[in-house]
Amino acid sequence: MIDRTAPAPRPDRAATAAEGPDGGGPSAEAAPEAAALREAAPPVLSLKGVHQVFGTPRGDVPAVAGVDLEVRPGQVLCLVGESGCGKTTSARMAAGLAAPTAGSVLFRGRDVAAMDKHERSVFRRAVQYIHQDPYASLNPVRTVYSTVSAGLRRHKMVKDRHEARRAVTELLERVDLTPAEDYLDKYPHQMSGGQRQRVAVARALAMNPEVIIADESTSMLDVSIRVSLLNTLGKLRDELGVSFLFITHDLAVAKYFAWDGEIAVMYLGKVVEHGPTPQVVNDPRHPYTRALVSAVCEPDPDLARTKERVRLRSADIPDLTDLPPGCDFHPRCPLYAQGACDTLRPPLVPSHDRLLACHVVTGE
Amino acid sequence: MTDHPAAPAAGKAPAGGPAEGALLSVRGVDVGYRTGRRTRVTAVRDVSFDLYPGQSMALVGESGCGKTTLGLGLLRLLPRTGVVSSGEILFRRKDGRLVDVRTLAREDLRRFRWNEAAMVFQGAMNAFNPVLRIEDHFLDTFRAHEGGRRRPRKEILEQSADLLTTVRLDPARVLGSFPHELSGGMRQRALIALALALKPQLLILDEPTTALDILTQRSIVERLAELRDELRFAMVFITHDLGLAAELADRVGTMYAGRMIETGTTRDIFYRARHPYTSALINSVPPVAGDLTVPQSLPGGPPSLTALPPGCSFAPRCAHAVDACSHTRPTLDVLRTRTEGLSHAAACLRTHELLEGATRD
């Protein structure tokens, strides 16, 4: 690899990686000292009260309305929620692909909007984005070598073609495309979806990123391939200390990949519940999170028949141009109580060992 | 569409007659696609099963295993290059007559589709004609597939409104809308309402909840289960979401490289899977409930249909493969006999050796 700027892997991470049978799966125990470390390390990337409003003929659409998120070194922050809740828009702002209408995106404490050319180039290299659809995100007329080495050549990280090929070979091996020589000169159409997505990961990795933003990167893949790609990403996290902003609508994937990290649940452009993964998934408190967790189809017929389901009052998501007063979730919320719910917007406050935005639950 | 009926009783002899009381008896069906002037691939090979009235069967497997091809083949909806090249698809019609779907002539086939068996296609986005309103889709469907006299528009629209109400849609809002004006979940529900328009006995659903949000998925799953209780239709649904199969199916068929390799009740498949591929599929899904469990990855992909391995198609990826697996093709052997097509059967040479402790009743 070429000049490693990413921080060295933390010792506790390296230990768990060595223990795992495939070196990929996250460890099941969340040590308390790890939690302390998590608090101590300054965030690599943070969103501070960001808003994104899209102007449309029907009115302004507040796709993201005041979100605070922090991605810490070597940690995973997972954003979950339904389509249209602002996950991807938040990610695009975090990657600097869209400028927030209000609020700021900070990279190592520096506002991305105020960066000069050099700083911006460093930021661009350090934060990489993996798109959802590997069929659309790779240029069909470029070979794997050409795609993966484009950034290396652009940023002058390799001297000549020979060195570039060697660097690309190393990258492909890192994402388990072996033997790498077989893939170097292939075109995207000669590969399966899982292999293409690995090429997209290798391309992101070529820049020695500190943060990888993965936007639904596994949702297009078959179940059998999904797990092995998640394990590859987990290996990057554990061995190279890459941080992840991981976006998914699949709670099972979120749980598996972000077990040691945090989950933020978004609804209509706001975070409604944010906390350590085991708490959020196994003991959800916000009624929306509870509904999401209970709606999952479990691959277990007995459990599927006996599982308690949260009944929503309405199946329809309110229109973003015409949001209800008070809490955005109140027209669907099973815990809705007259009073604060339909008049006051609940703030995101610490409660039940996490951050919650719900009058009823935080008032208990 | 291949509308040409096959010559009856041509080719190989069917493997036994129809099962007593079955709604659909599929016997040794092969489905092939023409890929060039003289080349063809067989995407589905020798599939047989019986579906009884009111049953719900899930077809699971990775992409490219022939699930959709089989589903389309059952209704003869294959694209122009595809053809059901052998076997029998025996269907008991509402009037009690037994017909082979392969031999139905053009007009008969039109009456058969939608009246007897309807299909909900994959991707609700693309199943509707984008330039027709939802009401026009209903009018078209009724007029094309309903026999007898031509009914007035008003009467059909009233019936359509009732159908939309059964899937919890507001007819006043939906009927006059174009497909793009509806959300994915609404389109999927409208599509299900449309499929049920002529009270079919069999509904084939191809990936009914893929690409829908989790809460929308939940409402579709629940509505489908309720409708099935109410209207007593049989379902074959194609999915790669094992959670959906666990929830909505009475029985599951696993497909791999065009063959049915395991079939049984939902509990058989999820708690006592006897084919390594089925187990691998189930183990690759991380559950949401409980503590962290590490799913097992299943490396590689299904073999190319043009170059199938000589023995068991799964042998190259199988953790339990022995020498015999690479040259002997296993047959689908019944492990536990039950009535109404619910027997547990698996096509694996080592089924009896691999009885590991991972079973539960």
Say if CB B184 and CB B191 are below 8 A apart: no
Chain B closest CA to A300's CA: distance in Å?
A: 6
B218 with A295: Cβ contact below 8 A: yes
Chain B closest CA to A14's CA: distance in Å?
A: 18
Chosen from B173, B187, B285, B296 to mutate, greatest number of chain A CBs within 10 A: B285
Supply the mean pLDDT for chain B.
86
Mean pLDDT of A323-348: 88
Mean pLDDT of B269-274: 91
pLDDT of res. B220? 86
Q: From chain B, which residues contact A within 8 Å (Cβ)?
A: 62-63, 168, 184-185, 213-219, 221, 240-247, 266-267, 270-271, 280-282, 284-292, 294-299, 301
A161 Cβ contact partners less than 8 Å away, ≥ 6 residues apart:
none
Distance CA A276, CA A257 (A): 12
**Closest partner CB to B301 (pick from A83, A192, A281):** A192
Chain B closest CA to A106's CA: distance in Å?
A: 31
Closest by CA to B354, choosing from B239, B276, B245, is B276
Chosen from B125, B221, B294 to mutate, greatest number of chain A CBs within 10 A: B294
Residues A322, A327, A329, A332, CA torsion sign: negative
Distance CA A272, CA A84 (A): 15
B240 with A222: Cβ contact below 8 A: yes
Mean pLDDT of A69-80: 93
**Closest partner CB to B298 (pick from A224, A295, A312):** A224
Tell me: pLDDT of A27 over 50: no
Mean pLDDT of A218-232: 84
Chain A closest CA to B271's CA: distance in Å?
A: 8
B181 Cβ contact partners less than 8 Å away, ≥ 6 residues apart:
none
Tell me: pLDDT of B15 over 60: no
pLDDT of res. A34? 45
Enumerate the residues of chain B whose CB falls inside 8 A of the CB of residue A300: 246, 270, 287, 289
pLDDT of res. B106? 85
Mean pLDDT of B83-105: 89
Q: Which residue of B has its CA nearest to A229?
A: B297
Q: Which residue of B has its CA nearest to A82?
A: B213
Tell me: pLDDT of A301 over 80: yes
Enumerate the residues of chain A whose CB falls inside 8 A of the CB of residue B294: 25, 256
Residue A29 confidence class, pLDDT cut points 50, 70, 90:
very low
Residue B218 confidence class, pLDDT cut points 50, 70, 90:
confident
Chosen from A250, A260, A300, A319 to mutate, greatest number of chain B CBs within 10 A: A300
Tell me: pLDDT of A6 over 90: no
Tell me: pLDDT of A306 over 60: yes
Closest by CA to A29, choosing from B187, B49, B291, is B291
A224 with B213: Cβ contact below 8 A: no
Distance CA B218, CA B220 (A): 5
The CB-side HSE value for B116 (13 A sphere, CA atoms) comes to: 23
A255 with B292: Cβ contact below 8 A: yes
Residues A294, A295, A299, A300, CA torsion sign: positive
Higher per-residue confidence, B43 vs A308: B43
Bond before A179 cis per omega within 30 degrees: yes
pLDDT of res. B304? 85
| pLDDT tens for each residue of A251-266 | 889 999 999 999 999 9
B247 with A304: Cβ contact below 8 A: yes
Tell me: pLDDT of A46 over 90: yes
pLDDT of res. B57? 94
Report the number of secondary-structure helices (H) and strands (E) in chain B. Answer: 11, 12
Supply the mean pLDDT for chain A.
84
pLDDT of res. A37? 46
DSSP code string of A117-128: HHHHHHHHHHEE
Chain A closest CA to B19's CA: distance in Å?
A: 27
Residues in chain A: 364
A301 with B246: Cβ contact below 8 A: yes
Chain A closest CA to B260's CA: distance in Å?
A: 18
Phi first, then psi, for residue B179 (nearest 5°) are: -50, -40
Chosen from B63, B67, B215 to mutate, greatest number of chain A CBs within 10 A: B215
Class of domain A11-282: alpha beta
Please report the ipTM that was assigned to this predicted complex: 0.81
**Closest partner CB to A295 (pick from B214, B240, B270):** B214
φ/ψ region of B119 (left if φ > 0, alpha if ψ in -120 to 50, else beta) reads: beta
Domain ranges in chain A are 11-282, 283-364
Enumerate the residues of chain B whose CB falls inside 8 A of the CB of residue A26: 292
Q: Which residue of B has its CA nearest to A216?
A: B211
A301 with B247: Cβ contact below 8 A: yes
**Closest partner CB to A224 (pick from B185, B247, B284):** B284
Residue A323 confidence class, pLDDT cut points 50, 70, 90:
confident
3-state secondary structure A72-110: CCCCEEEEECCCCCCHHHHHHHHCCCCCCCEEEEEECCE
pLDDT of res. B355? 65
Distance CA A18, CA A32 (A): 20
**Closest partner CB to B292 (pick from A250, A259, A312):** A259
Chosen from A27, A80, A133, A223 to mutate, greatest number of chain B CBs within 10 A: A223
Mean pLDDT of B10-14: 42
| pLDDT tens for each residue of A161-205 | 999 999 999 999 988 888 888 899 999 998 888 889 999 999 999
B298 with A82: Cβ contact below 8 A: no
Tell me: pLDDT of A21 over 80: no
pLDDT of res. A57? 87
Mean pLDDT of B2-30: 66
Q: Which residue of A has its CA nearest to B300?
A: A225
Distance CA B278, CA B285 (A): 12
Enumerate the residues of chain A whose CB falls inside 8 A of the CB of residue B284: 223-224, 226-227
pLDDT of res. B4? 59
Say if CB A73 and CB A241 are below 8 A apart: yes
pLDDT of res. A185? 92
Higher per-residue confidence, A28 vs B103: B103
% of chain B exceeding 70 in pLDDT: 92
| pLDDT tens for each residue of B169-194 | 889 889 999 998 888 888 888 999 99
